Structure 1
Amino acid sequence: MYTILLVDDESTTIKLMRYMLENSRFPVLRIFEASDGKEALRMMHEYGADLVVTDISMPYMTGLELCRQLSREFRYTPAIIVSEHDKFEYVREALVCGVKDYLLKPLCKERFLSSVRRTLEELPETVHTIGETSDRWRGLADTWVEAVLQENRPVQEMTGRKWLASLQSAPPYLCLKWHSAFHRILLQSAAAKLEREVECSLHPYHGQTGAELTNWVIGDFKALQHAVKLAAYTDNQRMIYNAQKYIQQHYNKEITLEELASSVGYSAPYFSYLFKLKTGISYMAYRTQLRLKRAQELLLKSDKPMPQIASEVGYNDVTSLIRAFKKELGYTPSDYRKGGFV
């Protein structure tokens, strides 16, 4: 799916080009509009585009000036000029700027669509369309952040290499899109106290050239990785504390993994992985420890019968309590009550 930017100070021409594109069979995702070159540049920095179609005579910045700027800042984005002027010097200047085609007004539908189709088909294979690139990098971002959070270093390094390789060959405005996407993921994963610091870290790219932006984003990669790790550590520690507190309050009940994970806002598989990673035992083993500790207290400090103790600490019958004692402690509840294993 392609994104096309139409630039003309004549609204009728814009409407005509939009109509022809929307009624063609081109896989066009979005069509942006600008009334002059300055507005077009702003939109390129903000949204990017796979193709720019521009008039020449416009206020503030002409189409030729826009094309010169595009060739410097957005070298992967081709341009087509539509103009009322057939002067040789205009055509020559357009060719110098790398313009793909020069169409005269009034526009011929067949010629216009043919030019757009040919230009889009000639886009380098290494440069995906805006929508595809964003989706692909978003997938890489999700994989990378998950690997960082799970401390899966092989996947983390492999994904990082793929990401940096893409960055080094990508247009600068896509680097900006990448950083914005990563910023959102980072804030979702990071502790709230880091949000202001992350926001401040985004200011340096404003006003920079494309090359400077690319270098800055690549250089910032390791710093962001460190921030994610730090924030994840804080969030994970809080999650473990809350989970342990929940188990302590409900240890004598049958808590499912899904129920426990939901209580702390995590998916069941991810919670199970993190809990064991951070505590060294599974949540079931932690609950068993709490049950047996409470059972030991009741055995020594009360004369309650064994079935009642088993029920109070969460076991359905005495047999289950005895089995847990022997497996985890190596002796029976009766032996413990006799005082030989204090």
Structure 2
Amino acid sequence: MALPKPEKSPYDVVVLGAGVLGLATADALSATGLRVAILARDLPEDVDSAAFASPWAGANWSSFGNNESERRRDTFTFEEFGRLAKSHPEIVTRRQFKYIWNKDKGYSSPWYKDVVFNFRPLERSEVPGPYSEGVSFESYTLNPHRYNALLASRLRDRGVPIVRKRVSSLDEAFAHFGPVDYVVNATGLGAKSLLGVEDPAVFPDRGQTALVRAPKVDICFGVRDANMAEGKAVYVIPRPGSGGCVIVGGTNIKGEYSTLPRREMAESILQNAFEICPELANGGASWKDIEVVSHNVGLRPAREGGLRLEIEERMIQPDALVPEGGKSKSRPVTVLHCYGIGPAGYQANLGIAEEAKEITLKYFNKQRSRL
């Protein structure tokens, strides 16, 4: 005989999803004293899972914020990375970036030139490969596995449970830990099919990369040419705390779900990366001399219109998907949607979490004022 569900949950907030946005938001909320729990299909330690994007990111801070909100979130995250780089250099490292092109598409004077360090045009002799112009600046690269592990460790140290469970509907998250009234929906690509959300604007942005061993490469490169073919990307991102590994990429293919690396893409990625950074071959003569650790594919959780970060009031309708101990009455609940960041998850995650925290605190303060 099943035990009845508790009348009240021991938690104030349940975060649905444990990707980088879910973890960062749970961290920000729990730091305020709110009682937080996480419910997720994929956990931070699932670093080989192809089911979610967070383990496969580059990852670096290179903003492409298009509006004031995006730029504010990215700037907040950049400043926090500066603090983290001092305490955890194996997770976040400040280093030189070189962005290069033949035809500029705005990177010669980006909005963030006064945010990053030492922004300047490159001399022609400093521009690698078949490119003619570029800029140099200093920003941050991350180790996503270590970064997510740090967030998860902080959460667990505060007593935040991170529970593996696959849910079919958003309403299930309001019942798993006993009846809770506030859920953060950080399901990423899952928001497309999750019952109660089913957002048609969500789509995968397929990124294929290679992880290679090249201990002497310490500069982050990126091709930012206006004539680059759609879906193609060329970048080299040294990864801190990885024993000299570097991420090279890549692709940005909208709407494709395959997580199997493609041989022709893998070869093209290595060739393009070698062209701008021959040091990847560790003294070898061609791209074939690059020491490949793994070929990877991640599905970035993108959304038409960008990030969805907003409150929704809804009613829990008791049915088989919401087993609340035999309760028969519907009840009002609140969800904070926090998904759809696409390829900007790491460069914006702390700024988004800060904004989500402010929205959440405003909600709880309003609820207390009604008591």
Please give the range of the TM-score, normalised by the shorter of the 2 chains. Answer: under 0.3
Between structures 1 and 2, the one with greater strand share: 2
Bigger Rg, structure 1 or 2: 1
Normalising by structure 2, we get a TM-score of: 0.23
Q: What TM-score, normalized by structure 1, do the two folds share?
A: 0.25
Q: Which has the higher contact order (CA 8 A, sep 6+)?
A: 2
